Amino acid sequence: MTVNVLNLINGTWCASRTGRTLSRENPARATEVVSLAPISDASDIDAAVKAAVAAYPAWKLVPAPRRGLMIAEAGRILSTRKEEIATLMTREMGKPIAEARGDVQEAIDTALLVAAQGRFLGGETVPCELPNKFGMSLRQPVGPCGLVTPWNFPVAIPSWKIFPALVCGNTVVLKPSELTPACAAEFVKALVEAGIPSGVVNMVCGLGEEAGAALVAHPGIRAVSFTGSTTTGSLIGETCGRLNRKVSLEMGGKNAQIVMEDADLDLAVEGALWGAFGTTGQRCTATSRLILHASIHDAFMSKFLDRVKKLVVGDGLDANVHVAPLVSAEQRDRVASYVEIAVKEGAKLALGGHVLSSGAYANGYFFEPTVFTGVTRTMRIAREEVFGPVIAAIKVSSFDEAVSVHNDTDFGLSSSIYTRDVNRAFTAIRDLEAGITYVNGPTIGAEVQLPFGGVKGTGNGHREAGMQVYEFYTEWKSVYIDHSGRLQRAQIDT
């Protein structure tokens, strides 16, 4: 069944003014059209931003606890429709059905966490230096926000942005990925059904360089939150810098799992399997480098390769499948080209490395789970984000070397170390340059109550989730109340 996706502008589901549509195929069976969505242009974006601007004055006056109740209701609606949305997600972007359920669950978890925050959006009170004077700070919304999201977490990532933006009193325009418009529309429908007023949430589908760029640069937008590739994020950062616009950028990663000589090897193998091949390696936190201590390298690799060989590749709707297709033919070809580059640069292809295109794989974007050994830190396979089922193993001879190799990257999202040595674990927590560090766990598996984001080329200093996300969606106001009845001069009348 093909889903006909529409834009949501000022409470009305409508086609694009351009009349153009984009069809999205099932990555496991490219002959099946999953969704047809508008290819919108700057005029659609303009209408949506105007709706968000018009709805803002009334929405910001709705008490935050009441805004939180609507978000809780959206979470409840999502939980009743979890299976239906998860199935659509697997058809639209490919990830295995259990992971698609997890994606929707993450949005439900976010709704619960954010809804309660409606009663806790607090500021601070502090003593003033002059008598009979009261000082406090409070949070105020930023204004209409432009949100640009990728396809790999097509429900969870919009929820990380929209729920906190709304509870703080902002209105939003979402431009979802052109690869997952139907998932985004299902998520937005839950907000509409939960009673969010017209114009507060708007969604415009379309291409990045057309609709996305128009949203980011629109004069009615006060803040932009983006998740996606570093190339796109840098462009958006430039635009927002020029316009003095608040911008949050969550971008690429080159995450590594370190395995020390004292690690529980079976546990480390399980972690690497899940970290590298979960979501077919298409998570921003996916493990794409393995940093192995030389003394356990061969033992680890032998166990690991045994397990990788047993991974089942196939349509994510089949509950027995571990590794689903890549999201698109373009992404599959990009992965294949990185395999070629790695071989040319001298990495040893230990397993996989090929497009799967016969039999059950004939109509999909499948790629073999792929393992490289003998990788050095200067090879492109060790430095650039592949975003596919490919892992590159680098041998090291000490903890210090492991940390040095780990940090020798432009990115800094997630990191992991397997060790039984508590001293090393704490040193790693201190020294690994990343926004997230796991000890004895894989690089994937973030929970919504802790801040999410990265350092260096992965981000621009903001965080999503946790309590930190409210820093982005609010502005601080400092308030001084002088009840002395006379002029008191700070720093002078001491």
Assess whether 183 carries a catalytic annotation.
no
Strands 390-396 and 287-293: what pairing? Answer: parallel
Q: Which residues within the stretch 105-144 sit at the binding site for ligand NAD (CB under 6 A)?
A: none
Check residue 175 for interaction with ligand NAD (CB under 6 A).
yes
> Whose Cβ is closer to ligand NAD: residue 35's or residue 177's?
177
Under DSSP, the state recorded for 209 is I
Q: Which residues within the stretch 466-485 sit at the binding site for ligand NAD (CB under 6 A)?
A: none
- In the bound complex, what is the minimum distance in angstroms from residue 216's beta carbon to ligand NAD? 5
Q: Which residues contact 327 (CB under 8 A, 6 or more apart)?
A: 27, 93, 94, 151, 152, 179, 282, 365
Choose the stretch contacting ligand NAD; rule: CB under 6 A; options: 77-85, 108-116, 118-126, 244-252.
244-252
Q: CA–CA distance from 38 to each of 16, 52, 180, 228 (Å)? A: 5, 20, 12, 21
Q: How far apart are CA 388 and CA 401, in angstroms?
A: 26
Name the nearest CA neighbour of 175 among 208, 200, 142, 223. Answer: 208
Check residue 227 for interaction with ligand NAD (CB under 6 A).
yes
Q: What sign for the dihedral angle of Cα 235, 103, 11, 33?
A: positive
> Whose Cβ is closer to ligand NAD: residue 209's or residue 400's?
209
Q: How far apart are CA 14 and CA 88, in angstroms?
A: 21
Q: Which of 168, 236, 301, 382 binds ligand NAD (CB under 6 A)?
A: 236
Q: Which of 366, 367, 387, 418 binds ligand NAD (CB under 6 A)?
A: 387
92 and 24 in contact (C-beta within 8 Å)? yes
- Of 145, 168, 205, 284, the catalytic one is 284
Q: Which residues within the stretch 418-457 sit at the binding site for ligand NAD (CB under 6 A)?
A: 454
Say how many C-beta atoms besides its own lie within 10 A of residue 407's C-beta. Answer: 15
Q: Which residues within the stretch 191-210 sit at the binding site for ligand NAD (CB under 6 A)?
A: 208-209
| Helix/strand/coil for 91 | helix
Check residue 238 for interaction with ligand NAD (CB under 6 A).
no
Assess whether 145 carries a catalytic annotation.
no
Q: DSSP strand E in 235-389: where?
A: 246-250, 255-259, 287-293, 348-351, 355-356, 366-367, 370-373
- In the bound complex, what is the minimum distance in angstroms from residue 253's beta carbon to ligand NAD? 5
- Of 106, 186, 250, 368, the catalytic one is 250
Check residue 276 for interaction with ligand NAD (CB under 6 A).
no
> Whose Cβ is closer to ligand NAD: residue 259's or residue 336's?
336
Check residue 216 for interaction with ligand NAD (CB under 6 A).
yes
479 strand-pairing partners: 136
For tokens 């949430």, what's the residue? 201
Choose the stretch contacting ligand NAD; rule: CB under 6 A; options: 174-182, 256-264, 308-316, 351-359.
174-182
Check residue 103 for interaction with ligand NAD (CB under 6 A).
no
Measured between alpha carbons, how far apart are the two ends of the chain, in Å? Answer: 75
Check residue 251 for interaction with ligand NAD (CB under 6 A).
yes
Check residue 329 for interaction with ligand NAD (CB under 6 A).
no
> Whose Cβ is closer to ligand NAD: residue 67's or residue 254's?
254
201 strand-pairing partners: 172
> Whose Cβ is closer to ligand NAD: residue 149's or residue 415's?
149
Choose the stretch contacting ligand NAD; rule: CB under 6 A; options: 149-157, 240-248, 362-370, 372-380.
149-157
Under DSSP, the state recorded for 278 is G
Name the nearest CA neighbour of 277 among 125, 141, 389, 404. Answer: 389
Q: How far apart are CA 494 and CA 324, in angstroms?
A: 69
- In the bound complex, what is the minimum distance in angstroms from residue 43's beta carbon to ligand NAD? 16
Long-range contacts of 451-455 (CB under 8 A, 24+ apart): 452/160, 452/250, 453/250, 453/413, 454/250, 454/251, 454/253, 454/411, 454/412, 454/413, 454/414, 455/412
Residue 415, burial from CB neighbour count under 10 angstroms (0-12, 13-18, 19+)? buried
Q: Which of 212, 314, 364, 369 binds ligand NAD (CB under 6 A)?
A: 212
Number of residues that bind ligand NAD (CB under 6 A): 30
215 and 148 in contact (C-beta within 8 Å)? yes
For tokens 């006056």, what's the residue? 61
Check residue 228 for interaction with ligand NAD (CB under 6 A).
yes
Q: CA–CA distance from 331 to each of 301, 307, 366, 435 (Å)? A: 27, 25, 10, 26
37 and 22 in contact (C-beta within 8 Å)? yes
Q: Which of 73, 103, 186, 385 binds ligand NAD (CB under 6 A)?
A: 385
Q: Which of 25, 41, 92, 250 binds ligand NAD (CB under 6 A)?
A: 250
381 and 392 in contact (C-beta within 8 Å)? yes
Q: Which of 93, 142, 148, 190 binds ligand NAD (CB under 6 A)?
A: 148
Check residue 458 for interaction with ligand NAD (CB under 6 A).
yes
- In the bound complex, what is the minimum distance in angstroms from residue 175's beta carbon to ligand NAD? 6
Check residue 99 for interaction with ligand NAD (CB under 6 A).
no
Check residue 41 for interaction with ligand NAD (CB under 6 A).
no
Q: Which of 191, 213, 323, 375 binds ligand NAD (CB under 6 A)?
A: 213
Q: Which of 151, 187, 274, 365 binds ligand NAD (CB under 6 A)?
A: 151
Check residue 150 for interaction with ligand NAD (CB under 6 A).
yes
Q: Which of 102, 237, 253, 353 binds ligand NAD (CB under 6 A)?
A: 253
What are the catalytic residues? Answer: 250, 284
Question: Using CB under 6 A as the criterion, which residues of the chain lie in contact with ligand NAD when the complex forms?
Answer: 148-153, 175, 177-178, 208-209, 212-213, 216, 227-229, 232, 235-236, 250-253, 284, 385, 387, 413, 454, 458
